[in-house]
Amino acid sequence: MIREFAGADVVYLLLAARWTVALALVAMLGGGLLGLVIAALRIVPFKPANWLAILYINLIQGTPLLGQLFIFFFGLPLIGIQVDAWTAAAISLSIYAAAFFGEIWRGALQSVSIRQWEAGASLGLTYGQRLFYVVLPQALRVAVAPTVGFLVQLIKNTSLTALIGFVELTRAGQIISGATFAPLRVYLVVAVVYFVICFSLSQMSRRLERKLHVAR
């Protein structure tokens, strides 16, 4: 039975947006931790580690996120590993995010002048000490903008999880649109919610950049 699009539906969409944000946060944390490892493997003076990181980045960036979602959600059960939509989405987005975070942070680390590494070595610092105490604080300023830019993209990419049945903002919009036959109004609200989330994140990034005195 067709019904009118009402205020209760807007509330339902807002509640579903919680899962969009939660999924993006999980992917950011999981992908961030793995991305740090990838970035480190890309810059360490050990060729096999460099090649391993490059292989991972090329494999993940060279395949569609939707395909990765399908592999985890539909493929793993074929080998006896049962996963629900949340688990498949979280793992897929984390692995996907790690490849991009790794490259973003690798570029930020390598943007720091080699003289900074040499200066740390002249003070008797180990490689790890030079990385954490000399290079990382400077690379952080460079990495803020592209990292937040990718986070905005990651939030929008969570909409793909609707195709494996995970009820986040986009999937909630599909459900309400099917019940009300008012797709224009439903997806307009969905678009506004996405905009508010992403715009708020961008504004936070700008404030952080000013705090860190990022060169413009």
Query: Running along the chain, 216 residues long, what does each successive block of 10 average in pLDDT?
Result: 86 95 96 94 91 96 95 92 94 96 92 81 80 81 88 95 94 93 94 95 84 59
- Provide the pLDDT for residue 110: 87
Residue 138 backbone dihedrals phi, psi, to 5 degrees: -80, -40
- Provide the pLDDT for residue 213: 63
Sign of CA dihedral 80, 83, 84, 88: negative
Class of domain 22-167: mainly alpha
Sign of CA dihedral 54, 56, 60, 63: positive
Question: How far is residue 54 from each of residues 42, 58, 123, measured CA to CA in Å?
Answer: 7, 6, 32
With residue 28 as reference, give the H or E element that holds it: helix 7-43
